[in-house]
A and B are shown apart, each in its own frame.
Chain A
């Protein structure tokens, strides 16, 4: 039942639902659609707008303004600063990411089970949930040859005898393509969100949850909803609330609601460094698909891959080499961006009284920085093995590498001030498990000691996934909500 009592000139609207889901990213969208399909009256709140995939080209200025939180300007503070990125629109990060897809390895799950005492989280426990999510959000390999900048990485790896693979994407490629785009990205707004709405779910976009509190027999979510240029306050109540606002916003919301035990203390991420490689031949041609290769030789220490290398992105990645400005304009077709990504570093998320945005503190310790430095050297090595004529690390003050011998000139470690690291994969800020010393939620996402309050996003994952995380976020969300439904908790 939705009621909007507008009497007495009050602008406070009240909504009563069976289930409230806060956030419509991969965790929230999967959870909400399953609850709605189970016949519950579900309201899903999403702070960002509901925009079609085609509202902006991928990684464009428009996309950053429309779909990224804070236009992509987020900084984790500490002795090393870390730029991080989150989606803020219906579908969350799945709308702005490249959808590179993996299932998490059995070894990583085993570590989580052991270290956090998580029940029923083996690879075979998760298998049906991966499979079910992959039915809805299609995961496909490229229908034809890989783009050249991707194939270059694979050839470098093969020359060195390193393990490298083509990674499938959450993407439905068109077959027999004549015109138009190469297919349809399988983001949440294309897959689980329409499913949720078809099952009768209510999506409230442009609505930000600001507090969660305990009412009599139910949870109350206070929210602000955009009404043209004004904000309208809402009060929603439900027996069950899933918080799926992402690994930064979920702990922010819980902490400012007074729920603080093991919340926001153990943020983890995949810190990433980039380098631009210049090849003799043109490898960055406009009509190719997105790159898909990753080097897995050094997992779980670090992995490497290719980034979107359109000219605006290239100019950004080369900003630390201003002397190369003209080269970018002249030779951009011979240049491409590559990355190395490790698993080190920890962080904390706090809500600052009086401020809307969470404060994130990060620590990258000397071994973490050393690992990244090793990774960068290995990345340069494989790029030279692939035929690069020069490699430009995207780190201020770093030298241009012109031959494999120059790799020895790279510093042994990265100084905390210099590291120009970014993180796209964020998790573990509210880990799940039975170890109440460490975990915010139980093995199935219910906040310890609080009936009816669940966490359903990347915050729950106990540590770095090592691989791209979205598949794991979706599978764990599905596992947990199915458990709650079958236990009659919803």
Chain B
């Protein structure tokens, strides 16, 4: 059963009267939003749409959870602003609520921080059917428990996000992209580590398992050539760099944010990652015949895992490195993979938000 909510009160009513609830935004991450079994009640929030408040001088924006992030981007662009973390799957219809619930950040998170760093306030319908607010609309706020951060990655299991407040940034006026061939994955990881520790302030840095890196500089046009002129000779020995023309660069970054490189017949998995875990994770993915990209300088692994391969080897590799992952597309996969943290704290917080177990496990 699906309820297409046009108003928060409908959601509150539904939460009070049903169990097995699963919120759904734009449906761009079906592994999280499609019913995993019978008897699930889908709460479709895509009708809760629109910007509630946007004051460009304030650099903050509040919008309803079902607002497509592409719509936000267009509104921000009119004022020369943006969400610097390039919310992934925007062109597949990702909504603001879904981006928060799935904790998906794109390439630009490298320089400016990810979705957890930009969410300043939320309104949710909790498991008792109450509409509750956390955080606020100002960029700095230490009052009360940090409900906004808790909702990041909550996957619809702790409540229905109905409104989100964000801080936003000025949109850089210029960008330049380099494709760097490091010569193998290990060399690429080493190069990424070196580049991240240097004075380059890369805006984005994505690693391809074949040893190529896609690096973006962003900022004002004036110093851009000088920044590039210093960066290129400083690249690790053996690496070669090619500057991409604007059109090609845009296409490549769009491919990264849309995760469009993902081959057919695979499901998309987002995994927490660290530089040291890249090689072993890739070994597990390659052995299963999958593909992957390592985003945000290696802090996140986007894995295309073959539909017909069991997830166990990936689960085992993640556990070994103390990392967790979450499938985003393919068959409904409500459970997290790998090393899941939180223990008793997680259970108790969950019991507070959803005492009668209205939401799916």
A binds B: no
- Which A positions have Cβ atoms within 8 angstroms of B? none
- Which B positions have Cβ atoms within 8 angstroms of A? none
